[in-house]
Structure 1
């Protein structure tokens, strides 16, 4: 179980950036996958306008300092960039915990985010919801809504069992 006394995770990280205006856009998802597989904490692309009005994209890779070398290797091998920028970043994250919700489509994991001991985020795991929706023919949003409802019911039942139901 998550120890809420240590719920915030503060890390020194690096944001690697590269501007690209001559790369095949079909490579974007492949490069992103490679970076995530190698340990990137986040990868995102921003459309930009470069010199002489050329459209381009800015690659952003958030990574721990220990993994910079591997990220450089992938970016230089898989993109057309000739250079990278490095911006130091302090990252503050919520404490995280996972729970399993029983649904008509089987168990689905939810990710929970805590701030100062209070649950502030709850997100069903996308891939599990996607698999449930595809295998059952139910809309993805229906699966998400049901997971959220069942988690709220679980939480409410647990609160009532522990006496923290908040009666008058």
Structure 2
């Protein structure tokens, strides 16, 4: 899992440079060169006294339309998944341009981002997204847009540029420093990846910097953290007072979740009702909340970030009455806190030998 920190903005080349630390650079360059005949390298440079990765491209000042960019990528002999990522990023740019200029998508002709660099940025980002599984699966911190004005083909505009402003709707952003720090291509990559805003503390194992072209007092790099693996779960809650027991019971059959609790409670006007609580993986939270609303008719679902600690778990096997019984052994910091035989195994033995389940359970516990 990765955390993107655009404290000094983000551009396409900064994204590729920052993430190059975590992928095969030679394979990345080879993939791009299958599509674009340009001299590309990723080198270590010093920015404000620290070492950062820098994407270096021999400039080819060829202006391309939206359709020409798509055609170049679609006709390439590379993995279709990388193609799809790259095309999707170009599409986000084109849709933003079409909207702000009031034209059809096929009429879009990029200006400031019409050079071959944009195709290289989209392809490189597509390769990285595929290799590191970044789509819907990473975090970001608030995005620095920069400050001041930027001169584009249509005149002098306040930062962020119109396309960047359109693309980053809904993201958490701020203004600091000087100049245009976040570009339309960098914004489009973020929009496509769809990262989650990280709140609170985090633990990381590696950090990488991707250098931008310009020199500022503010370190002009994109910072990326490789996070220590952590469990990402969400608590969903809703209250209902007009749902039958059959429908509530049905939720246990259809929801693919970590845990589900249905708790009796009293609601407004002393009405008896139920509190439905669901623990679910983060990437399934929205889908599960919508399913809950459709099944129960509830008008809203609370989505709550939670943290939890878990015991280490190991499954062992023992032999009881000639039958195998799985035992879940749990510990914290090496101290065993639980030894629990598997219910399904005990049930099978109880039925086979026609003995009370509680007797089987107690006898197995004595062995543990």
**2:341 paired residue number:** 124
**1:144 paired residue number:** 361
- CA separation of 1:80/1:134 partners in 2, compared to 1, >3 Å: closer, same or farther? farther
Q: CA contact under 8 A between 1:18 and 1:83: conserved in structure 2? A: yes
- CA separation of 1:138/1:70 partners in 2, compared to 1, >3 Å: closer, same or farther? farther
Post-superposition, which runs of at least 4 consecutive aligned residues in structure 1 deviate over 3 A?
Answer: none
Q: CA contact under 8 A between 1:105 and 1:132: conserved in structure 2? A: no
TM-score w.r.t. structure 2 length?
Answer: 0.36
**2:239 paired residue number:** 19
**2:316 paired residue number:** 99
**2:254 paired residue number:** 34
For the pair shown, which has the larger CA radius of gyration, 1 or 2?
Answer: 2
- Tell which has more relative contact order, 1 or 2 (C-alpha 8 A, sep 6+): 1
Aligned match of 1:78 in 282, 295, 302?
Answer: 295
- Post-superposition shift, 1:98? 0.2
Unaligned stretches of 5+ residues in structure 2: 1-228
- Post-superposition shift, 1:48? 0.6
Give, in whole Å, the separation in 2 of the partners of 1:79 and 1:85: 14
- Post-superposition shift, 1:69? 2.9
**2:307 paired residue number:** 90
SS class of match (2:232): strand
Give, in whole Å, the separation in 2 of the partners of 1:138 and 1:74: 42
SS class of match (1:141): helix
Give, in whole Å, the separation in 1 of the partners of 2:254 and 2:345: 21
Where in structure 2 are the equivalents of 1:35-74 lying within 5 Å?
35=255, 38=256, 40-74=257-291
Compute the RMSD of aligned alpha carbons: 1.8
Unaligned stretches of 5+ residues in structure 1: 1-8, 153-168
Partner deviation per Cα, 1:102-156 (whole Å, 9 max, x = no partner) = 1116111111111111211111111222222223221111111122122x2xxxx
- Counting matched residue pairs gives 140
Give, in whole Å, the separation in 2 of the partners of 1:105 and 1:84: 49
**2:152 paired residue number:** none
TM-score w.r.t. structure 1 length?
Answer: 0.76
**1:166 paired residue number:** none
